[in-house]
Amino acid sequence: MSEANVTRLPAEWAPQSGIMLTWPHTHSDWQPFLEDVEPVFTDIAHHASLHEKVLISCWDENHKNHINTRLNERGVDPGRMRYYIVPSNDSWARDHGPITVLKQGRPLLLDFIFNGWGAKYDANLDNAITRHLCSQNAFGDTPIETVDLVLEGGSIESDGQGTLLTTARCLLSPQRNPTLDKIAIEQRLNKLLGAERVLWLDHGHLAGDDTDSHIDTLARFCSADTLCYVSCDAPEDEHYHPLQAMAEELAGFRQADGKPYRLVALPLPQAIYNEDGVRLPATYANFLIINDAVLVPTYQDQHDALALQRLGECFPQRRIIGIDCKPLIEQYGSLHCVTMQIPAGVPLW
């Protein structure tokens, strides 16, 4: 079969038209944290807009005007922004946004079911966001296909060449697709995303994570031959044994040609707790690759500099930009979780 006839999920480092954000609002769980979290969204929008377009979903017209004012005050180029009125439950665009594949070389938006990470939260509005955006021509004439499968963007990593990386705990969760076993899931991933190989991690989790171990909190492709991953070197930490086991699994993985992956360890931030004493899932693996840059979450932590350095070594041709995401993890996610990249070829405007 020629490459032109193959379905592919592009790697995140492939050229992009822009990113998608769903802005936090008072009708969501962000309400008590808005004063702290909106500057994070503003920073993400600002830095992304220097490299590509930014599509923003807003609760209503007043919310849109509020966001526009904030971004104007930040000096964001208004020509790089586009706003759409789309009600939302929450702001995790990674999981309710479209997953874009290239089918016969042309972009296709896949609208998977989002059920609040296994029915943990109400997600009826979020599950409809992609269709609402398409009805407003947010993605131009790009075709959309509604898929009868629960799948979140944060649960899969692609090398752009037919290999997917994921976690068994998430994709085999009975609260997502209870009638599908591992073989059936792989068959669907092959048909829908062009996954010729699926690398499954059976170990690794972060305390406070409510996604059932999304791969984008644990291990990421930096290139087709390089994986970075969260590492814990403190035996007294609750993450030590699960993350050591995950590191061993990653060391056993092979590329399609049989060669081992280059593995780059990212430090685990020091424990951060919310006011209820719950440990929050801070992770440097939750970075976002955009055109010519990488946006990296930081946490006012002693390990921030080392994480930025190691990711700089993984992406030597891109600018590494740290963004303080400590407010984001109050709701158990970070930078990658609140963004969704839109590949080149999708006309945003």
Active site members: 337
- Amino acid identity, residue 275? E
CB contact at 8 A, 112 and 149: yes
Phi first, then psi: what are they for 109, rounded to 5°?
-85, 125
Distance CA 100, CA 340 (A): 10
Q: For 296-335, b where at least 16 C-beta lie within 10 A, e where not — what string?
A: bbbbebebbeebbebbeebbeebebbbbebbbbbbbbbbb
Half-sphere exposure of 226 (CA within 13 A, CB side): 13
Residue 327 CB contacts under 8 Å (≥ 6 apart), including other chains? 33, 36, 37, 39, 40
Phi, psi values for residue 95, rounded to 5°:
-105, -20
Q: Which two tokens stand for residue 249?
A: 């699994």
Distance CA 165, CA 159 (A): 8
- The CA-atom distances, in angstroms, between 255 and each of 134, 231, 281, 324 are 36, 21, 29, 34
Q: Are the C-beta atoms of residues 157 and 166 closer than 8 Å to each other?
A: yes
Cβ proximity of 9 and 156 under 8 Å: yes
